[in-house]
Structure 1
Amino acid sequence: MLILALDTALEACSVALHDLEADRTLVRLQERMARGHAEALIPMVERALDEAEVAISDVDAFAVTVGPGSFTGLRVGISAARGFGLATGKPVIGIPTLTVLAAPLLAQDDRVPVAAAIDARHGNVYLQMIGAAGRVLVTPRATSVKDAARSIANGPVRLVGSGARLLTEVWPSGERLPVEIQIETMPDPVWLARLAGVADPARSEPKPLYLRDADAKPQTAQRIARR
């Protein structure tokens, strides 16, 4: 099963072509960028297909990170994945960004839970904690850094993501410090493909998982009333 994975949720644009049965990555491309995902994604997909010497019709399924993340970035990746799925008639599978960040650490050892945290700015983080056998211990949420730290500091834990350092700065006094900290800010598209390969497409729709409202909101205070 050949999966094309797309990630534009955070400050990177990433593409991977992964053969699930052989657990072999044909191509993995990743570039850090704060903006410009819309312009970069399709050329990156074309490059990946060329390097792997496969056609888009050879892909069996498409995977995409659905958030949390940049509102604009999420729309870029999800729209592209949906477009590919519509054009080829192949399934499109959405995987939460926090789950992708946690996956490599859980694959190494799932005996110690992993808390994935993304800096949501203004003293907040997006948070999820996963334990043994993929059991969700803290559901995906947007919360203050202090509340996030308190919710996961009740036992051994590993931290990953751009919000990991923020959590350690407000770690509750007297609680055991995290066993491991990885300030990884880019979801791995290969792990995105692997997770999509074992996900149920019917329960993993490519719909945005925003967790909170956008920072930019319409200005209504001075709106002129229509007559």
Structure 2
Amino acid sequence: MILLAIDTASALCAACVYDSVARKVFGRAVLDLGKGHAEHLIGVVHDAMAQADVDFSALERIAVAVGPGSFTGVRVGVSAARGFAMALKIPAVGVTTLEAVAAEARETFGARNVMAVLDGGRGEIHAAVYDEAGREIMAPMAMTLADAARMALKHSALLAGSAAAAVAKEAGPEPRVGPERATTDIRIYAELGAAKQPGEKPKPLYLREADAKPQAGFVLPRIRS
């Protein structure tokens, strides 16, 4: 199966073309943007497709990072994935950043329980726990640093993600720390996406409300006809 994977959930804007039979990435493109995913994503996808030397007609599935992460970035990636899937009449699947971070940790440190922990801002930790086979033990949720530390100890989990060091410091000397990034290599999103069964269309995974909200004082009154 030839799959296009997209990740815009963090500062990266990444895409790759992956062959699930050969288990190989044939083309990839990655930009470290911070912001501006909407302006650059199509170009990144084009570069990955050109490197792989495949046409869109060869794609059989789209995989996309659905968060948690940047509100705007996640929306951009999910919208693009759903658009590609609709136009090409192929399935799209969502992969959470947490399961991808955990998968990288297992790949690096071997099969074990992994607690993926991301800095959610406002003092929150976005976390999920997966067993040695990647099965979900604790669903993604927002929690305090103290609660995250307790969960890591409860599950004897390796910590991975952008908040791993902070959670480990809170928990004490026991938890081991793996990769400490807000996302992971686009190849891992592709591998996880290839292994999933297509179902509902991918949608953003938000664990807290957006920072930007309408200012009530500037809302115009509705005109009744």
TM-score, normalised with respect to structure 1: 0.91
Q: How many residues align?
A: 223
Deviations 1:45-80 (A, max 9, x none): 111111111101111110001111111001110111
1:185 aligns with 2:206: no
1:167 aligned partner: 167
1:83-98 equivalences in 2 (<5 Å)? 83-98=83-98
Cα distance between partner residues in 1 of 2:154 and 2:35: 37
1:33 aligned partner: 33
In terms of mean alpha carbon deviation, does 53-62 or 128-137 score higher?
A: 128-137
Kept in 2, the 8 Å contact 1:110–1:133? The answer is no
**Taking every aligned residue pair, what percent have the same amino acid on both sides?**
37
State the 1:108 CA deviation: 4.8
1:200 aligns with 2:197: yes
State the 1:186 CA deviation: 2.7
Cα distance between partner residues in 2 of 1:82 and 1:155: 35
In terms of mean alpha carbon deviation, does 40-49 or 154-163 score higher?
A: 154-163
1:56 aligned partner: 56
State the 1:226 CA deviation: 5.4
Kept in 2, the 8 Å contact 1:156–1:179? The answer is no
TM-score, normalised with respect to structure 2: 0.92
Cα distance between partner residues in 2 of 1:78 and 1:208: 7
Gaps in structure 1 of 5+ consecutive residues: none
Kept in 2, the 8 Å contact 1:100–1:195? The answer is yes
1:114-153 equivalences in 2 (<5 Å)? 114-153=114-153
* SS in structure 2 at match of 1:153: helix
Kept in 2, the 8 Å contact 1:110–1:131? The answer is no
1:21 aligns with 2:15: no
Kept in 2, the 8 Å contact 1:112–1:157? The answer is yes
2:9 aligned partner: 9
CA RMSD of aligned residues (A): 1.8
1:77 aligns with 2:40: no
Deviations 1:123-168 (A, max 9, x none): 1111011012222222100111111111221253211111112212
Cα distance between partner residues in 2 of 1:77 and 1:136: 23
Cα distance between partner residues in 2 of 1:64 and 1:181: 23
1:220 aligns with 2:216: yes
State the 1:19 CA deviation: 0.4
State the 1:200 CA deviation: 1.1
State the 1:14 CA deviation: 0.8
